[in-house]
Amino acid sequence: MSSLPASAAGAMSGALARLRRLVLIALLGFASGLPLALTGQALQAWLTMRGLDLATIGFLTLVGLPYTFKFLWAPLMDRFEPPGLGRRRGWMLLTQLALAGALALLAGIDPAQEIRLFALVGLSVAFLSASQDVAIDAYRTDLLLPAERGMGASLTTLGYRLAMIVSGGLAFIWVDPVQGGGWSWPEVYRLMALLMLGAAGVTALLLPRLPPREAPSSVARHEVLGFAAVLAAVALGALLTDRAIAPAVAQALQSVWTGGAGLAKKWADLLSLLLGLALTLPLAAWAARRARYETLLGGLGSYFALPAAGAMLVFIVLYKLGDAFAQALLTPFLLQAMHFSSAEVGVVNKVFGLWLSIGGALLGGLLMLRLGLWRALMLFGVAQALSNLGFWWLASHGQGAMGAVLVPAFDWGFVKLAQATPVDGGLLMVIVIENLSGGMGTAAFLAFITGLCNQRYTATHFALLSAFTAVGRVWVGPLAGVLAEAISWPSFFILSLLMALPALIMLVWLRPRIMALEPPRP
């Protein structure tokens, strides 16, 4: 008789422990999502309100570069543990404390006066954020039981999206001088620094420790030396680009350029960047081989030994390219070119839009059960490409073409609208279409990545492929910024539609390979 209460108590204890783990995972998802908008759309809004030109804003999207290269230092975080802080948890604590400091430092810099320092600190924020993501992903995998990982992934996504609503949605309302709180962007970034401090407190006080794990010292030594060699190669490439390539390109372009001097400099900067990358990437690969960066070389070697590996990698970069190009300067377009208020952009594009993208992802997941992977990629890819025509229509017709929807005033304490705010009907329509189609495209795309990793590739390949999914989002910014100043906004969004076509053409060619990833239907 006494065993029944004991078993019931054990079951309740297990359920409470499971609930605690899942709640903590959701909080870690929030910590992971908070810095992303602070180096993306929120940063663009700050720069736009400080009067920086579109080309400069476009080049500053490169502060997100660490998201595309995080696989380079992920092996170091896997091999080493900060002493006394615990495996995985120690890296999370250190990156969160450093993020709080970097955000506070960024808040004290005026981008209009110290743009190089601002970009450098922004780059450090992205580096720390990408490093935090590596540690959180690894911690979640090690902490959760296999049966809990599906729910853990869902709660991570929910926390991530809620954080983006705060840093990329509510922040736009807070800075509105009429409708919102009238905050400055530095005040917003200081608040985000405090939130990261709170995340560090949760990590230090509430997260359970993982059991220690011994790593082979020889491999770790090779990885440290390899990573140092890659960093040195990147530094050398950047130095050569700044001191040799950029002056030569500027001089060559000046001799043939017939347009304005300001635009010539921006094209020269863009060409210098591309040539610098063409030099730096092979240099870094050579340094990794010479220094025997084993994890990186082994992962890349095993990946490219697979059939159609290169084509799959190109497709990963291209599938969201048109979407990324249209979104690259969306905040300056809405604030500067369309003259929407920051509160209107925050409510529609950042709050409604993010919830709609979640709905689109859920709808895409349901439709994929009937469509299959290849047909879903094609159908959703066409939909997300055509959704760029909505921005073309908005740029062509301007405000007021479809009336307005009135959002009533509210005051929830942490955010408010001082008075009822009219939301442009055309903007609302375009955001609804774009986020639903983009969410469905993302669902199919992630299913494709997951299918590759689960059935064909190792966990190392997943780190590489997930990093390449961010290439379009980060790298199109400089080109988008220069083109936005050289051509009209309607032409810009037509170009974004054309940039989506190569992926759809590749999708037809890769059909047999992708259909082989689909599980057999009953």
- CA–CA dist 370, 388 (Å, integer): 26
Instruction: Give the model's pLDDT for residue 31.
Output: 92
Q: At what angle do helices 309-319 and 459-468 cross, to 10 degrees?
A: 40
Mean of pLDDT values over 46-54: 88
pLDDT of residue 456: 42
Among 295, 294, 365, 334, which residue's Cα sits nearest to residue 430?
334
Cα 306 to chain center, whole Å?
A: 27
Q: Which of 82, 61, 89, 77 has the alpha carbon at shortest distance from 130?
A: 77
Is residue 519 very low, low, confident or very high in pLDDT (cuts 50, 70, 90)? low
pLDDT at residue 159, rounded to an integer: 80
Query: At residue 455, does pLDDT exceed 50?
Result: no
- Banded model confidence at residue 454, pLDDT cuts 50, 70, 90: very low
pLDDT one-digit tens code per residue, 355-372 = 777 777 677 777 877 888
What single-letter amino acid sits at 133? Answer: D
Rounded mean pLDDT, 488-500: 91
Summarize pLDDT for 203-258 with one digit per residue, the tens: 998 888 877 665 555 466 777 888 888 889 888 988 888 888 888 887 887 766 65
Most confident of 109-123, 136-150, 285-299: 109-123
* 123: pLDDT strictly greater than 80: yes
User: Above pLDDT 70, what percent of the chain?
Assistant: 82
